[in-house]
A = this chain, B = another copy of it.
Amino acid sequence: MQDLIAQIKAFNRERDWEQYHSPKNLAMALSVEVAELLEVFLWLTDEESRHLPPARKQATEEEIGDVTILLLALAEELGVDVLEAARKKLQRNREKYPLEKSRGRAEKYNELK
């Protein structure tokens, strides 16, 4: 991952694109890419989304590539380690969604009784 982050930074620096890459703009770009990923699943049933035909499968991989690049670029700009941030959040989620209350239920934590 460190190597990939270094490559992303070099890619942007060589094109003199850092001037555009404020966290605000990178977050906007990340939203746009995530919507392109979402579009691959548009009008499919849940079940169909679990069994994508090859062209759609390939499209998800490309869009996940874009999303990952932008997420790493944004996190780097903010000085955030994505894996560490995910680990902390997972720990918080363990507290917000205790096993006995949340098993088999899709409610948000503040709707759990």
Q: Which A residues are closer than 8 A to B by beta carbons?
A: 1, 4, 7-8, 11, 14-17, 19-20, 22-25, 27-32, 34-47, 49-50, 52, 57, 60-62, 64-69, 71-72, 74-75, 77-78, 80, 82-83, 85-90, 92-94, 97, 99, 102-104, 106
Contact = CB atoms under 8 A, between A and B. Distances in A.
Contacts of A49: 22-25, 27
Copies in the complex: 4
Contacts of A83: 1, 4, 68
A30 B67 CA distance: 10
B87 A4 contact: yes
A44 B25 CA distance: 9
A85 B61 contact: yes
